[in-house]
Amino acid sequence: HFSLADISCKPFINPLPVINLVALLLNRDISDDPFDFCERLKVSKDLCDVEVNFTLEKNADKKYRITGLTSQGSSQLPCPCDDSGTGKTVVEYFKETYRRTIRSRVPCLKVRDQEKPTTYLPMEVCEISDAKQISYLLSVACQHPMDHEKTILQTVNPYNEDPHAKEFGITFENKLTIVKGRVLPPPVLKFNDQGKVKEFLPKVGKWNMRLKQMVKGGEVNTWACINFASDITHAAAVAFCDELAVMCVISGMNFKGDPVLPLVNAKPNHVRPFLKKHYQRFMEILRPLHKELDLLIVILPDKNGTLYGDIKRICETDLGLVSQCCLAKHVLKMKPQYLTNIALKINMKVGGRNTVLLDAVVGNLPRVSNTPTIIFGADVSHPHHGEGRSSPSIAAVVASQDWPEVTNYAGLVRPQARHEEIIQGLFNENDCGSGCISGGMIKEHLISFMRSTGHIPRRIIFYRGMLSAKDGSIWFLSMNFLPLKRHVRRWILFIIHKLPLLWFRNSTTHVCSLVTMVLGAQFFKVEMYCQVLWLIKKYAIPLTLIFTCVAMLALRESAGLFVIMFSGTRTTLRPTLCKFSLTIYAIRTRGAPLLFQLCLLFTMPIFWHR
């Protein structure tokens, strides 16, 4: 028997006026300017569930919990506290009741009160309660693994001296439990032959570009720089750009040293009009030359608030520009390692390739090198608590765009229903009157893959994180692949694993079951044999993995393996012998007697034992 000990950290902030905290979050003075949508969203996320005190109230100990931010300023917001029925605004109510003038265009805090369902409080009359958590300070809880282990041992070891533990005869080990595992060997990386180091084996998951060059260097012929950091002088920004250009050339890129226009200093107050204005200036020079701006370097202040998101949204969606943001603290230091990292990011953004796997170059990648293969990855991000009920979930699907290197990936995102785990935009059909037109993210990635490589993918590997087995996600996902190539008679094999102990982000989840799902289908004539094999407790891990490997080999030899999917799942369903028997029956009817015998040999002792 053993117990899982961990240390949870909770950051706190000192009591201070809410208006001052919001100024720190947005990195600007909160005068009387209204908030845009992004600023309201950021403040709502960071202040959600934070308790505040109303400084003008007689009962100073009463606390209110923030639930959000109003979309209107206090001068346009009707006061719910007004019992006279005259329709006063929040500004008028506070001026008459408390003789306090508040900002008229700044939004108010939505707070939860037991007495009244809706309460609005101006920011300048609220103060953060003592020792309350705020989300943006969670990064202080990050510790080095060795320090984290030391803290846990210091916490657990004194339990042996506890009198209550001695009374019950409980003892605690003074060392951590050893869990058997293995470390996968790192792959050998291939770099450009013009560098001194052509091949490199990473150690401890690290490698650098010293004496190496990129496999394929991108080209940056036209570029410009905008400085939004007031503490970075013009000379320092120019020197940083020069050093960055030199590092890009050393790393193997074709980077022109002179910008289109001299460096421009700007204020972060009006980002959109400023970027559009200078973009027009750039294009007035480049358009007669039939050129486009290849890169825009942006220097940001250390505390940039929503500036980073605004710049990325404007450059990538409105202007169609490739941008690279750099923080002011790194610009001043100009460390070679930082310049190298920025050069690697720029190279990928402009169509270059930093490195490839040596096995891919020589054709030794299993399941990839022998046939055109596309690799998918998909996940869904859900809105956090406090972002509002109208905030959608965001589904993202990435896919490889080259073969056999599989190092370049393209991404697609789609909004969908809130907290919906099934990806709705994978595949869809629209009836245009003359027939159905198929579409969706899977088709877009497949077409892009065929255009970039000139090959039709013969194998698909799809990674899907945290797929649920009880909500129909696996069935829905498998059906998305069926209409893609109806004339291809291939089998699909989905394999879903869930280990009894799953490390997920910052928490540990105990799961008492392991799932293996084998799903067979044909494209033209759909035949689904979807059964679940549930094995539990300590016998589940090795036996189920053996069964999975045997199933993969048998179906690959008999029908041809077209799709392999690996996914982490979460489930609490109880195992049943009925599902196990149906799975064995389905496998036996598919003409795999050896597989049937091996499955009985490896799994029946579990049920005999129980």
Amino acid symbol at 366: P
- Other Cβ atoms less than 10 A from the Cβ of 167: the count is 8
| Under 8 Å between Cβ of 260 and 278 | no
Helix (H, G, I), strand (E, B) or coil at 203: strand
Asked whether the predicted pLDDT for residue 250 surpasses 90, the reply is yes
What is the reported pLDDT for 448?
Answer: 93
Cα four-point dihedral sign 133, 136, 140, 143:
positive
Mean pLDDT of 394-418: 90
Alpha-carbon torsion, ordered 532, 533, 536, 539, to 10 deg: -160
Closest by CA position to 602, among listed 539, 559, 536: 539
Asked whether the predicted pLDDT for residue 14 surpasses 70, the reply is no
> What structural domains does the chain harbor?
18-139 (2.170.260.10), 189-356 (3.40.50.2300), 358-609 (no CATH)
- Rounded to whole angstroms, the Cα distance separating 7 from 272 reads 44
Read off the pLDDT of residues 364-380 as tens digits, 9 standing for 90 and up: 888 888 889 898 888 88
Cα angle, residue 113 at apex, residues 110 and 118 outer, rounded to 5°:
50
| Residue 480 pLDDT level (bands cut at 50, 70, 90) | low
What is the reported pLDDT for 474?
Answer: 55
Q: What's the mean pLDDT when you consider all of the chain?
A: 73
Closest by CA position to 296, among listed 313, 282, 285, 310: 282
Helix (H, G, I), strand (E, B) or coil at 487: coil
| Under 8 Å between Cβ of 109 and 123 | yes
What is the reported pLDDT for 464?
Answer: 78
Kindly report which listed range (58-67, 91-100, 220-229, 503-512) carries the lowest average pLDDT score.
503-512
| Under 8 Å between Cβ of 192 and 355 | no
**DSSP 8-state class, residue 389:** T
Whole-model pTM over 0.85: no
More confident residue, 500 or 220: 220
- Rounded to whole angstroms, the Cα distance separating 442 from 397 reads 8
Q: Using alpha carbons only, how large is the chain's radius of gyration in Å?
A: 30
What is the reported pLDDT for 173?
Answer: 77
Give the chain's largest Cα–Cα span.
88
Which pair of structure tokens corresponds to residue 228? 């939004």
Asked whether the predicted pLDDT for residue 11 surpasses 70, the reply is no
Closest by CA position to 573, among listed 515, 524, 490: 515
What is the reported pLDDT for 17?
Answer: 86
What is the reported pLDDT for 139?
Answer: 47
Q: What percent of the chain has pLDDT over 90?
A: 21
Mean pLDDT of 319-340: 92
Asked whether the predicted pLDDT for residue 185 surpasses 70, the reply is yes
What is the reported pLDDT for 304?
Answer: 67
Closest by CA position to 241, among listed 345, 352, 350, 324: 324
| Residue 522 pLDDT level (bands cut at 50, 70, 90) | very low
In DSSP terms, 298 is beta-bridged to 226, 325
| Residue 587 pLDDT level (bands cut at 50, 70, 90) | very low
| Residue 337 pLDDT level (bands cut at 50, 70, 90) | very high
Asked whether the predicted pLDDT for residue 159 surpasses 80, the reply is no
Kindly report which listed range (185-194, 207-216, 404-413, 422-431) carries the lowest average pLDDT score.
422-431
User: b/e for 549-576, b at 16 or more Cβ within 10 A?
Assistant: ebbeebbeeebebbbbbebbbebeeebe
Mean pLDDT of 57-71: 78
Amino acid symbol at 368: V
Mean pLDDT of 478-484: 54
What is the reported pLDDT for 77?
Answer: 83
Kindly report which listed range (371-380, 407-416, 560-569, 582-591) carries the lowest average pLDDT score.
560-569
Q: How many helices (H) and strands (E) does the chain have?
A: 16, 26
Read off the pLDDT of residues 109-119 as tens digits, 9 standing for 90 and up: 888 766 666 68
- Rounded to whole angstroms, the Cα distance separating 23 from 562 reads 55
In DSSP terms, 508 is beta-bridged to 503
